[in-house]
Amino acid sequence: MARIAGIDLPPNKRIDVALTYIYGIGHKTADKICDDLSIDPTIKAKDLPDSDVGRIREYIEKDLSVEGDLRRQVSLNIKRLMDLGTYRGLRHRRGLPVRGQRTHTNARTRKGPRRQAVALVKKVV
């Protein structure tokens, strides 16, 4: 079983698809890795020779930021925005959509479950 960047690649997937299981590698980057290293993208991850696995591992370590380093970088960028007090940072801090989506309706994923409004009805005497 191929293990790259701390992730066990799924053995029955094509190598170009299996590489996308690594955080920070998408389809385009996986295709570029296969092209640069002259690896057939249709070969299954379990059939990949150990020498090719080593070449992929070296390529990723040398040229790409993936997994823990990338997650840390993203979280530091968000923290920097919050510390500066930018509009995007305030949206992150409040747990609201950051990229201009409407919040009057929808946005339930960011806002969480709906809270019922308590209607204070004043009795008329």
Amino acid residing at 41? P
pTM: 0.77
Structure tokens at 103: 């919040």
CB atoms within 10 A of CB 15: 24
**Can you give the pLDDT at residue 53?**
92
Half-sphere exposure of 33 (CA within 13 A, CB side): 28
31-56: average pLDDT: 93
Q: What is the CA radius of gyration of the chain?
A: 23
Q: Supply angle C-alpha 103, 109, 114, rounded to 5.
A: 70
The predicted-structure confidence for 58-117, as pLDDT tens digits, reads as follows 999 998 999 889 999 999 999 999 999 999 999 999 999 999 999 998 889 998 898 887
- Taking Cα atoms as reference points, which of 112, 9, 111 lies closest to residue 60? 9
- With DSSP H G I counted as helix, E B as strand and the rest as coil, what are the percentages for the chain, rounded to 5? 50, 5, 45
Whole-number Å distance between alpha carbons of 21 and 113: 30
